Amino acid sequence: MGLTKTEKFTEQQNEIATIAKVLGHPARIAILDFLIKLDSCVCGDLVKDIGLAQPTISQHLKELKKVGIIKGKIEGTSVCYCIDQEKWKAITKTLNNFLNKNTTNTCC
Amino acid sequence: MGLTKTEKFTEQQNEIATIAKVLGHPARIAILDFLIKLDSCVCGDLVKDIGLAQPTISQHLKELKKVGIIKGKIEGTSVCYCIDQEKWKAITKTLNNFLNKNTTNTCC
DNA sequence: TTGATTAATTGTAATATTGCAATAAACAAA
DNA sequence: TTTGTTTATTGCAATATTACAATTAATCAA
């Protein structure tokens, strides 16, 4: 069916999955890597650096914006994209909350 | 095209994305949550607990096994699934490596 | 042997994702 | 206004993912 049954899961489970899903594409990781390296950036640079077509990059940026991990500020003809520090911290916290839930068990 | 161009990205970027992708579905987060709560588990319990059909659960377990975050041990008619502690730690490290790369910038 | 139980596999339908060409929109410079 | 630059949107094709019914395989119990 291709349709995730979100109603079967807790809000937290859905939240973790949504974040992870957005991070689940190497182009988006590459974009974030690039943004981290710089202080700001325009889409044009990304197209050159990452090597995917401009509409594809634009689409990935949209996904990243959807979870708020990046934000864009229009500056004339170009757009300055950068990491949303607050959101990045929140996402880090959410993922670590989950990752740290696991304690050493003795089974298997 | 639906086909990720992995060759355009670094090994590390692909690795992070692969891990995140597997965590990018609430059913798989729910399965991991359930496994963490217990010390061991069988698929039957998961079907009841999560509320998806048995083949669907089986498919999600396969995805989780693919990245090694869980392991299954056959015990008679049922299978004992549990977290692979070593792999969990490795995955946590990989994700945190990425998440901690980001430092406070002053742009935007 | 059967019959029951449990989990994997297969096949299929529906939806989602990825990627890009073509186009549009928004702005700056001439 | 026209022209060039930059990014977003649209439309489409190809592939991937999600979900489940039906079936298979494997084991245990009687």
Residue B32 belongs to a domain: yes
Contact A22, A64 (CB under 8 A): yes
User: Rg of chain B's alpha carbons, rounded to an integer?
Assistant: 17
Residue A40 belongs to a domain: yes
Distances (CA, A) of B74 to A48, B48, B70, B71, B107: 50, 20, 13, 10, 54
Of the candidates A13, A2, A7, A16, the one whose C-alpha atom is nearest the C-alpha of residue B51 is A7
Of the candidates B70, B33, B28, the one whose C-alpha atom is nearest the C-alpha of residue A17 is B28
Q: Quick one: angle between helices B85-99 and A85-99, nearest 10? A: 170
Residue B2 belongs to a domain: no
Model pLDDT for residues A82-106, shown as the tens digit of each residue: 999 999 999 999 999 999 987 666 5
Contact between A99 and B101 using a beta-carbon 8 Å cutoff: no
Which chain B residues 32-61 have CB under 7 A to strand D? 52-56, 59-60
Contact between B8 and A50 using a beta-carbon 8 Å cutoff: yes
Give the mutation candidate from A19, A22, A23, A57 for the B interface (greatest B CB count, under 10 A).
A23
For chain B, what is the mean pLDDT? 90
Query: Quick check: B1 CB within 7 A of strand D?
Result: yes
Contact between B23 and A13 using a beta-carbon 8 Å cutoff: no
Residue A100 belongs to a domain: no
Give the mutation candidate from B15, B22, B29, B84 for the A interface (greatest A CB count, under 10 A).
B29
- CATH number of the domain enclosing B40: 1.10.10.10
Model pLDDT for residues B65-77, shown as the tens digit of each residue: 999 999 988 887 8
Residue B16, domain extent: 10-97
Quote the Cα angle for A7-A9-A14, to 5°: 95
Quote the Cα angle for B33-A10-B14, to 5°: 60
- The answer to whether residue B16 scores a pLDDT higher than 90 is yes
Strand, helix or coil for residue B73: strand
Residue with tokens 């990059």: A57
Residue B107 belongs to a domain: no
Helices in chain A by DSSP H: which ranges? 11-22, 26-37, 43-50, 54-66, 85-99
Specify the number of domains making up chain B: 1
Residue A31 belongs to a domain: yes
Q: What is the pLDDT of residue A78?
A: 85
Phi, psi values for residue A73, rounded to 5°:
-120, 125
Contact between B16 and A30 using a beta-carbon 8 Å cutoff: no
The CA distance from B106 to the nearest CA of chain A, in Å, is 7
Residue A52 belongs to a domain: yes
Residue B106 belongs to a domain: no
- The answer to whether residue B20 scores a pLDDT higher than 80 is yes
